[in-house]
Amino acid sequence: MYRHILFDLDGTLTDSQEGIIKSVAYALEKQGEETAGRLEQQVIIGPPLMLTFLDTFGFSPEKAQATYAFFQERYGTIGKFENRPFAGIIHMLRQLQSAGSKAYVATSKPQVHAEAICEKFGLSPYLTEIAGSVLGGTEDKAVVIDRVLRHIGSGAADSAVMVGDRKYDVIGARKTGIPVIYAAFGYGNEAERQEFPADYTVNSVAELTALLLHS
């Protein structure tokens, strides 16, 4: 059984798409931008949002910063709580804790929001650490994973696993040398899973729980 389990947040522990999509729509509308084709979960949930504004939407650095500020205006007050843990997640975390495993969050989401979400929805008591990015950050997922592994200390890579729903989780895990589990109940798709294969794929929280408890 893995002793240290790193979880992505959006699309892995929680179903957060409503708040993110509504807040991106709000920000684009504030900027007078079209929302058509820009609100798919594949586009906006996963990478740091600043990178989406810069690289995917092609905004200038100044416009990306302004759009991000509008996003935070809504997401930081309302959107982050338009969210809920996937069914069975709290029970899974409780079981892992009872079995002696330690659970962590490693997310590209700003840490301040990740902490508030985990506290609001009852995840915090089961988490050893919540690691995220700074507001407006563009950190690679591997940087966040590596930060958690360094906090765990010697031998972390031999006893840890990453659980996530997007290619960014797989890429980050590969860069840091730990195995990775695809949560196919999240926001990824089959094409992405084929292009960036994980060590294991699970289709439900129940499958994930069984794998983590018996691997």
Both tokens of 4, joined, read 């240290």
Neighbours of 115 (CB within 10 A): 17
Candidates 215, 77, 87, 105; CA nearest to 159 is 215
Amino acid code (one letter) for 22: K
Ordered strands of the 4-7 beta sheet: 127-133, 102-110, 4-7, 160-164, 180-183, 200-202
Beta strands 14-15 and 84-85, pairing class: antiparallel
Neighbours of 146 (CB within 10 A): 20
Residue 178 per-residue DSSP state: -
Is there a contact between 180 and 174 (Cβ–Cβ < 8 Å)? yes
Give the orientation angle of helix 167-176 with respect to helix 141-152, to 10 degrees. 50
Amino acid code (one letter) for 52: T
- Annotated catalytic residue 146: no
The Cα–Cα gap between 121 and 197 comes to 31
The Cα–Cα gap between 49 and 55 comes to 10
Residue tagged active-site, from 8, 15, 146, 165? 8
Catalytic residues: 8
